[in-house]
Amino acid sequence: MDLSTGQPRPVSRHWRVTGWLLAAVWLFFLNVPLATALHQPAPWRRLVGVAALVAFSVGYVLLFQWARKLRQSLLPIPVGRARAGLLLLFAVGLASMPGTGGDWLATLVYVAAAAVFLLPLGESLAVVVLCAVTPVLTSELVAGWEAEHGIVFAVLLASFAMFGVSQLAQRNSELRAAQQEIGRLAVAEERARAARDLHDILGHSLTVVAIKAELAGRLLDVDRERAAAEIAEVEALARTALADVRQTVGAYREVSLAAELAGARSALAAAGIAADVSTEVPELPQQWDQLFGWAVREGVTNVVRHSGARCCVIRVRPDRVEVSDDGRGPSTPDPSGHGLVGLRERARRLDAAVTVGKRPEGDGFLLRVHAPEDAR
């Protein structure tokens, strides 16, 4: 499947040629009725016999390829059209009788095989039985025709073989459908992951940019130097956010706990929220350092955006990180928002737990990410 379009990849030329050969190679067994037609003394019988057999061969191959193409495209075979095609195929085979005599019964092998490939199981079984008993019945009804037990055996053998082919084709179709669904889900998951990453990156950065820009606007008439400094930080944050987006698109976005703690101090200060941040960062494995960094980023973003807090506390330990505030509490930020969903998914990859709720001390919001027991 082509993930860029969500459509099945075209079948290669090699497999198209193989499909035609698979249908045509079995026509070799029409050599007996063809030889009979060619040895007819009457020219019109030769012409009718050869023309009918050629038309029968072409019709059989086209019918087989039509059904095969539908199966490859994961489309159902229209039963009505399949029945009409089989009736027409049988009629053309029957029309060869003036030139082939009793050898026209060889065409029933192909009618039975096509029925197995085209029709539902019950109908195909009925067609196979009719094709198998026809040679026996005609030997009793038509003078001079001998019982064609070889045709009966060929009908049964070809039908059994085609049943195996049809089951294989069905399983291949189901496998292709499953592969397409997996591919579609992979594309959807990748899009959702990219959306969460962009939310986590830009949500934090743009929140801080908005706060600093608002602060600079208030300071413009009061303290131009500080306002200029805030504007310079806004420019730096915007450039950093742009670089982060480029890194995310390039699939090598990395977050570090130390950098996020430093960014948290700056963001909280710009929002006028007192920051109580751990000064020492423990040595952590890279995956835990990144996870704790994402937790700090998401927690501080929610504090700045939603809490109305006066103080934010960030504590980092070897087995956990906590971001808490004294604001309006856990009902303000949406626990099902993109940021928390992305954080939970990152934590799940490491079997870590994310806790969101009210602080034990009273009012306020607490976000905690902690490692499982066996990782401590």
Q: Of 167, 183, 199, which residue constitutes the final position of a domain?
A: 183
| DSSP one-letter code for 358 | E
- HSE, side-chain direction, 13 A CA sphere, residue 252: 2
Of the three residues 183, 200, 229, the one that is the final residue of a domain is 183
pTM: 0.49
For residue 368, the domain's CATH number is: 3.30.565.10
Using CA atoms, how far apart are residues 110 and 29, in angstroms rounded to an integer?
10
Provide the residue range defining the domain that includes 142: 13-183
pLDDT of residue 8: 45
Per-block mean pLDDT, blocks of 10 residues, the chain (376 long) = 42 52 69 87 91 91 86 82 93 90 86 89 90 80 64 84 77 72 67 68 72 79 80 78 64 72 84 85 87 89 81 91 81 56 86 87 85 69
Shared-domain flag, residues 171 and 261: no
Query: Is 250 within the bounds of a domain?
Result: no
In terms of domains, do 179 and 282 share one? no
Residue 204 included in any domain? no
Q: Determine, yes or no, domain membership for 121.
A: yes
- Residue 289: inside a domain: yes
Give 312's strand partners.
Answer: 275, 325
- The answer to whether position 192 is within a domain reads no
Residue where a domain stops, chosen among 157, 183, 209: 183
Q: What is the largest CA-CA distance in the chain?
A: 118
CA distances from 110 to 33, 72, 284, 325 (A): 13, 22, 71, 79
Domains identified in the chain, total number:
2
Shared domain for 174 and 270, answered yes or no, is no
Q: Which residue has the tokens 């799940």?
A: 348
Residues with Cβ < 8 Å from 18, sequence gap 6 or more? none
Q: Are residues 178 and 264 in the same domain?
A: no
